[in-house]
Structure 1
Amino acid sequence: MKIHLAAPRGFCAGVNMAVESLEIALEAMGPPVYVYHEIVHNQYVVRTFRSKGAVFVNELTDVPEGATVLFSAHGVAPATRELAKQRNLTAIDATCPLVTKVHLEAIRYAKQGYTIFLIGHDGHDEVIGTMGEAPEAIILVETEEDVDKLDVSDESKLAYLTQTTLSVDDATRIINRLKARFPELKGPPKDDICYATQNRQEAVRLLSDAADAVIVLGSQNSSNSQRLRELAESPDRPAFLIDGPEDLSVDQFQADWTVLVTAGASAPESVVNATIQWLEENFAAEVELKTVREEKVSFPLPKPLRQYAKK
């Protein structure tokens, strides 16, 4: 077996920042540190932090008054920040700066009186946070078919934004449909879909044709990991979205296959390595790195944690 190991893959700058933030908070402040929603959408990361004393909650009312709470990489709505203040919580904001950018765009368009079409997935943490910035001005659009059902009173003041972890191809199709129906539609000056999501999709698009199967490391609730699986899968090429090698079986593969291995932006490199080791042990696989693009992006820690960071 040959393994083509995609690069870039795995943790993006926003996830690196969020994970490091929680590590430092646990070390500096001691457990428990409460986290509003999952720190990132990866079960391995969540389990690891839970074992270190992180407590993940879906409601801020589950956080004791005066405790420390960390907001995840996906961002939160203003109402959540206000509730944290009311409960006297020490809030550490680990929102990815690229998500914050979308929030600020939503605020700007809403203040200018625009109706905003937010392209994204209903119920996703990032979408909930963005819509919370201007709920009266934002309409969620999930599919091309949704575009045909839109009913707005003023077609001269329309704008669109997107969830940062979407499929580039899917988002482009919806945007083109919106522009065809609403010619005066405005968009952000720069794409909302994050660089890491685009780069990982590009790598899969360019490398998957040479593979007999594709393994995507990532959890089922990870939007960007699901998009990688969808992009890789074809009628004659299976694609497996897994948390780790424990989700695989030898009868899914043939010994002479070429297997592309990649990872979503919230999947740690340790599970990639464990999966490669499993393939090596079961199929005497040989690994070849396939680099499509270099990434050198990094984001600073939240201000309250910078004093604790190792120099």
Structure 2
Amino acid sequence: MQAKVVVVGSLNMDLIVRTPRLPVGGETLAGHGFSTAPGGKGANQAVAAARLGAQVAMIGCVGDDAYGAELRAGLIAEGIDCRAVMSATGVPTGIAAILVDDAGQNAIIIAAGGNAELTPARLTAHDALLQAADIVIAQLEVPLPTVEATLYRAHELGRTVILNPAPATGPLPAHWYGLVDYLIPNESEAALLTGIQVDSPQSALLAAQRLMERGARRVLITLGSQGVLYADSTRHLHLPVDPVVAVDTTAAGDTFVGGFAAALAAGQSLEAAIGLGQQAAALAVTRPGAQPSIPYRHELPA
């Protein structure tokens, strides 16, 4: 068992439609492109961590269909340990229907499929992977009892625990905060978690402080073109990012999380880990797709 980063989370096949703009309710628009690409927040973060230098294992669940086989094969091709990517019979693999407008913004609808079959019992069957990890990453695209079991077990084992609370629908369970070492929402997720409108580094700091009042140890709020706001009990930092022309923001946050985890696993400093995540995410948004957009380490500055 050599896994340094273990990702517990979702695997989806992304069904992507390019459109001039996002439609409003009841409207039909003519798109100008369709493609499929491997995705899912968990798998995206696993691929990002692997491409950016980490040794990675994935714990997840797909359906017993062609999409599931394709997703597993794609992760294996990235060198990711997939012994815990399980197939659930009688259910489809999860999908994400993604609309991407000409400004690079997206709207996403997820059908969980096999991701809903990642139960705490299935997680427990692969406890050896958690034991072998240095860093454990979770998101919210699999059943919440499984996320909670992941946080409890990883914390019990003394592993570094990263929670990307996405997709967020409201406040997290209060008892989760003390189990997480790094809480990494984006601006909209931070707003849903705290009730604070987050649209600047200043408002992000207010949201981070509220999350720390609830028990979060360290908070990183990703702010897109405005960079990242980091806060803990002793300091806060705003790390800006160089501007880029965004083509597709899908998987930008996942790329940041994976890059950040890869750098931490390699023993880099907090600032260096944030910097690597930012560099990788900035390059990812200049490319279409989820996993196809995620860069390799050699593509980034030394």
Larger strand proportion of the pair: 2
Question: TM-score scaled to structure 2, two decimals?
Answer: 0.30
Larger Rg: 1
Higher RCO structure, 1 or 2 (CA under 8 Å, sep 6+)? 1
**TM-score calculated relative to the size of structure 1:** 0.30
